[in-house]
Structure 1
Amino acid sequence: MSIQSKDQLLEFVHEAVRNTPVTDIHTHLFAESFGELLLWGVDELLTYHYLIAETFRYRQDLSYEDFWQMTKREQADLIWQTLFIEHTPYSEACRGVVTVLNRLGFDVGKRDLEKYRSYYAHVSASEYIDRILELAKVKTVVMTNDPFDAYERERWAEGGSVDPRFLAALRIDPLLNLWDGTWPKLAEQGYDVKEDLSGSTLAEIRRFLKDWIARMNPLYMAVSLPNDFAYPEDSVRARIIDECIIPVAREAAIPFAMMIGVKRKVNPSLKDAGDSLGKSDIGTVERIVSKYQDVKFLVTMLSRENQHELAVTARKNRNLLIFGCWWFLNNPSLIEEITRMRFELLGGSIIPQHSDCRILDQLLYKWDHSRGIIAKVLYDKYADLFDAGWRLEEDEIKRDVEDLLGGTFWKFLGKPDPAA
């Protein structure tokens, strides 16, 4: 059916974006079989590192040491009192908590934290996973899986994810960013490696990656990189990329995902809440993706200032798929600006968003908020065409939305969507 008016167009676009199930291509969530790695519940929501950092801005008299000595429940009580009772929660992180509670059916006007807690005390993890994925309309969650974490390795030894909705991504940060502390862990696992990369070390790193690819069946290999990441360079990291990551990605036919722009521990007293960002050199991305045109790359960058250059780089390299508005970019004004620019430069050949969730509940607000922005920008682009005399079919809009919310990702991988 053809769209005959802009009012009809507006309604149909928002309905399509709101109701199309999504493949969330990058999260820090876990299937229930991963035990304590799966985080959920209101106290986890309130002690998310964004809210911890925000709380300290108001609590000038609170020492970091005193806060970290509190129990999680005590921390949550303090954050709730500070950010939601004593101040209006309109930051995006605070608004996200309100959205979650509202979508779960709670009366947020009563601000009754104990009543919210009582719900979580009587629901099982499996029930809650089902409810959140249904409410958020998320059909597939891509985890972040760390083979260097002893607890997680045990879960993989027990079979890994038995939930087909939770798929793996192989995280390799320690290999590329912390080699001096990582090679002994590889040696402990039976790999013949040396700190100076001599002997069979590079071959053994490749064997390690292949072993874990066989175990996890990951959709891609991923690393979070600092803002001063450079390529090429004379470094352990560059050698491992060239001689291990790229050959294995090529052989396994999976992309190498680079998330670039992190500054770690700019305030160590905040622990995980103390990380920041920095502008990166887009030339690094240009050089690596153009050098290895037979390998696919997923890239997102953390600095707002890098976004235009990254989109232009993607125009020139079909083996590069850019994704999401990551971390400090996950604010409505920036998501809209970046999504609009990407649509104008790249059309629908992008992944406009991923949730980056660490807590299951966050799927509700991350996708509710992002869907509204994606629909708004997409409508504007369609309306421009409508004004120019182009008429759209409803099926064409559905096709476009399905691509933006997962289809483009699966096509880039060269794999069928298992949830289709």
Structure 2
Amino acid sequence: MAIINEADVAAVVARVVEEVQVTDIHTHLYPPGFGDMCLYGLDELLTYHYLVAEFFRHTSMDYHAFFQLPKERQAELVYQTLFIERSPLSEAQQGIVTVLKELGLTVDAGKELPALKEQIKAIPLTEYVDKVFAAAGVKEVVMTNDPLDGTERRWWEKVGNKDPRFKAALRLDPLLNDYEMYFGELNNMGYRVGRYLDNVTLGEIRRYLKEWAKKLAAVYMAVSLPPDFKVPEDSTRAHILEGCVIPVCRELKIPLALMIGVKRRVNPHLDLAGDSLGKADIRSIEYLCRVYPENKFLVTMLSRENQHELAVTARKFRNLMVFGCWWFLNNPEIVREITAMRLDLLGLSFIPQHSDARVLEQLIYKWKHFRRIIAGHLTTRYRELLTKGWPVTEKDIEKDVKELLGNNFWNFVGGR
């Protein structure tokens, strides 16, 4: 294949990045077969906590009064406040505009919300999911699946997942962060656990993890952790992590994903929109990677201040895979900065983004916006190579882009 000219790099990179089908390695999505757990549509998009937090920046409305309203009315208030009374300039607002554009929805002069909603409702759900995946350029997603959630567990026991585009990840948040509240649920599921972590209880927790990881066909286990997460330490979380999760992941040959830095309910009146972030101690990641070299760890951290140290740590441990710019980091300027820094330190050996989408259409804007960023960075890098006399072909670019946006993940978790 011919070497690309420096003048043609931008166009080639843009085309390759636009055409590649992405593996979105962490979402909170569900397939259509899971009923009401499959969230989609403008009411869900507009009442997602990203926009709810921004809505309360512009109103004195009582928090409780807002959350008592039907979702449709909440969406109307958010839309009126953030899209009609002022221009949608924030990333979360721009995301909605991107979704409308990429789905080909007609925005009339009055920007009427009911008309937009009707255009979506006219499309059958299974067809609509196909349309969203195509618009986002997403081939497959990894869900977040928690058997300790009774509602979700019933779907797995009754229906199961029949859509191969939706892969599973076994979520560990209740088990690790709130064991005292959930050990009774484990008992209800047939696992003979107690409040205290004796050998019988630890053995039963391991049985739970193995059985449900296999039932879900989980590609990894995952947990969100607070900034003060620490291991080793004498705590319930640390004992379950080291005594149960680590050995089961190693036995099943699946990674553990650690998403670190979430401060829950800083403002409890805002419900899910009231969570925040904090800087974490990277030494816990160093410890896990060093002490458990046969385990693999997917790690993302929520604080901007953790990013450089995390990337440097990944240079020291090949069993650590850095991934994504999520939640409060998912803003274009921060994503540009972090992605450039990771390219500098890690080359192509990281996973640059995941959507963290909880509402189906969020796939569209998160991947559309990120593709522009990664295309810009790669264009700059390939131009630098060409000016230094290093030949670059279209095949080289295609291989690199596929590695970043899909193959790195599958190679790390051990293939399909």
- Range of TM-score over shorter length: over 0.9
In structure 1, what is the equivalent of residue 73 of structure 2? 74
Q: Distance in 1 between matches of 2:149 and 2:127?
A: 27
Corresponding position of 1:348? 348
Per-residue CA deviations over 1:189-215 (Å, capped at 9, x if unaligned) read 111111111240000000000110121
Contact 1:26 1:143 in 2 (8 A): yes
Match of 1:138 in 2: 138
Counterpart for residue 367 of structure 1: 367
Alpha-carbon distance between aligned partners in 1 of 2:414 and 2:318, rounded to the nearest angstrom: 14
| Structure 1 Cα separation of the partners of residues 105 and 196 of structure 2 | 57
Name 1:275's counterpart in structure 2. 275
Contact in 2 for aligned 1:260/1:301 (Cα 8 Å): yes
- CA drift at 1:37: 0.6
Kindly report which structure 2 residues correspond to 1:293-312, keeping only aligned pairs within 5 A, or say none: 293-312=293-312
Matched with 1:219 is 219
Q: For residue 81 of structure 1, what is the amino acid of its counterpart? A: Q
Compute the TM-score of the two structures, normalised by the length of structure 2: 0.98
SS in 1 for 2:225: strand
Within 5 A, what are the aligned runs for 1:19-34? Answer: 19-34=19-34
Q: Deviations over 1:312-369 (max 9, x none)?
A: 0000000000100011000000110000000010001100000000100111101000
- Report the residue type matching 1:64 in the other structure: Y
Separation in 2, partners of 1:166, 1:301: 24
Provide the C-alpha distance between the structure 2 equivalents of 1:180 and 1:135, rounded to a whole number of angstroms: 43
Whether the 8 Å CA contact 2:300–2:322 is kept in 1: the answer is: yes
Deviations, residues 205-235 of structure 1 (Å, cap 9, x unaligned):
0000011012101000000000110111111
Asked if structure 1 preserves the Cα contact closer than 8 Å seen for 2:52 and 2:273, the reply is yes
> Does structure 2 retain, via aligned residues, the 8 Å contact 1:268–1:274?
yes
2:7 corresponds in structure 1 to 7
Which digits, 9 at most, give the CA deviation of each residue in 1:241-262, with x for residues without a partner? 1110011000000000000000
Q: Distance in 2 between matches of 1:362 and 1:102?
A: 13
Q: Is the 8 A contact 1:186 1:193 kept in 2?
A: yes
Structure 1 match to 2:241: 241
Task: Name the amino acid aligned to 2:272.
Answer: D
- Match of 2:375, SS state, is helix
Q: Equivalences for 1:373-388 in 2 at 5 Å? A: 373-388=373-388
**Cα shift at 1:384:** 1.5
1:335 is aligned to 2:296: no
- Residues 146 and 152, structure 1, Cα contact 8 Å, conserved in 2: yes
Structure 2 SS opposite 1:191: coil
How far off its partner does 1:27 sit? 0.3
2:259 paired residue number: 259
Match in the other structure for 1:166: 166
Q: Alpha-carbon deviation of 1:381?
A: 1.4
Q: Which residue of 2 aligns with 1:65?
A: 64
Three-state SS of the structure 2 residue aligned to 1:161 is coil
Task: Indicate conservation of the 8 Å contact 1:39/1:359, yes or no.
Answer: yes
Select between 122-131 and 14-23 the one with higher mean Cα deviation: 122-131
Taking structure 1 as reference, are residues 206 and 54 closer, same or farther at Cα in structure 2, changes over 3 Å only? same
State the distance in 2 between where 1:104 and 1:135 align.
7
> What is the letter of the counterpart of residue 55 of structure 2?
T
For 2:219, what is the secondary structure of its paired residue?
A: coil
Distance 1:226 1:370 in 2: 26
Q: What are the superposed Cα offsets for residues 117-165 of structure 1, whole Å, 9 maximum, x if unpaired?
A: 1112222211110110111111111100011111111111124210011
Structure 2 CA distance, aligned partners of 1:125 and 1:334?
34
The separation in 2 between residues aligned to 1:108 and 1:219, in whole angstroms, is 40
How many Å apart are 1:239 and its aligned residue? 0.8
Unaligned runs of 5+ in 1: none
2:157 alignment counterpart: 157
- What letter corresponds to residue 79 of structure 1 in structure 2? V
CA distance in 1, matches of 2:414, 2:117: 43
RMSD: 1.0
Displacement of 1:413 in angstroms is 1.3
Paired with 1:257 and 1:393, the residues of 2 have a C-alpha distance of 35
Report Cα offsets for 1:42-101 as digits up to 9, x if no partner: 111111101001000000x20001101111111111001100011110100000000001
**Distance verdict in 2 for CA 1:109–1:347, change over 3 Å:** farther
1:182 aligns with: 182
Determine if contact 1:206/1:244 at 8 Å carries over to the other structure. yes
Give the AA of the match of 1:46: L
Question: Residues 2 and 391 of structure 1 are in contact (CA less than 8 Å); yes or no, is this contact kept in structure 2?
Answer: no
8 Å Cα contact 1:98/1:108 also seen in 2: no
Deviates more, 1:225-234 or 1:108-117: 108-117
Give the secondary-structure state (helix, strand or coil) at the position aligned to 1:222. strand
The CA distance in 1 between the partners of 2:201 and 2:4, in whole Å, is: 64
CA distance in 2 between counterparts of 1:51 and 1:142 reads 24
Cα distance in 2 for partners of 1:53, 1:109 equals 27
Provide the rounded CA distance (Å) in 1 between the counterparts of 2:413 and 2:149: 27
Q: Percent identity?
A: 54
- The answer to whether the 8 A contact 1:227-1:279 is kept is yes
Count of residue pairs the alignment pairs up: 415
Note if contact 2:25-2:142 (Cα within 8 Å) is conserved in structure 1.
Answer: yes
Structural mapping, 1:115-134, within 5 Å: 115-134=115-134
Alpha-carbon distance between aligned partners in 2 of 1:260 and 1:406, rounded to the nearest angstrom? 23
User: Which secondary structure does the structure 1 equivalent of 2:56 belong to?
Assistant: helix
Contact residue 192 and residue 204 of structure 1 kept, 8 A: yes
* Matched residue SS, 1:294: coil
Give unmatched runs, 5+ long, in structure 2: none
Contact 2:302 2:327 in 1 (8 A): yes
SS of 1:259's partner is strand
TM-score between both structures, scaled by the size of structure 1: 0.97
The alpha-carbon deviation at position 109 of structure 1 amounts to 5.8
